[in-house]
Amino acid sequence: MFLIRFYDRLIVVLACLAALTYAFATGLIIVDVLLRNFGLRPIQSASALVEYVLLFATMASGPWLLRHGAHVAINSFVGMLPSTLHRLVVRLAMVISLATLVLLSWRAALIGIEEHAFGAVDIRSIDIPMWIAYALLSGGLGLMAIEVLRMLVRGNTSMGGTASH
């Protein structure tokens, strides 16, 4: 059970890092805007950094949000169904979500490997290897797939581990 405890802690650490990252991005934007408004030289790489930071934060927080049912979910129709049909529809949605997340994670990993092999670089105010974006996508989507799989295995009847819908 060491692996499960490690994974659970990893999800919390990634969520905390995502929160810090959102704060960093907000601060960077504020500083950049203030510099521009005071006629000072803005931070040249601010927009590129913010874009990558937001991608990281989204992928890092996604598994935690999914685990706690803090993601966007529309339950009004499903909530009106009889309990047996409700469970069936929710489990079907989880299976479709799992398949989609696995497919997208796998595809992002393949593209990232190709980008790394070609040495592709996102050239802006700073040069960022292209594989980084795909690695973030693959990792985040893969962790979200694990969360959905855990919900399926545990028999959850809502698309969120601890939230009530």
Write out the DSSP string of 88-152: HHHHHHHHHHHHHHHHHHHHHHHHHHHHHHHT-EEESSSEEETHHHHHHHHHHHHHHHHHHHHHH
Output the pLDDT for position 70. Answer: 74
Q: What angle do CA 147, 81, 73 make, to 5 degrees?
A: 35
Q: Look at residue 97 and tell me whether its pLDDT is greater than 50.
A: yes
Q: Above pLDDT 90, what percent of the chain?
A: 69
Q: What is the pTM of this model?
A: 0.86
Q: What local confidence, expressed as pLDDT, does residue 73 receive? A: 67
pLDDT of 159? 59
Rounded average pLDDT over 12-27: 96
30-57: per-residue pLDDT in tens? 999 999 999 999 988 998 999 999 999 9
The structure tokens 């959850």 sit at: 156
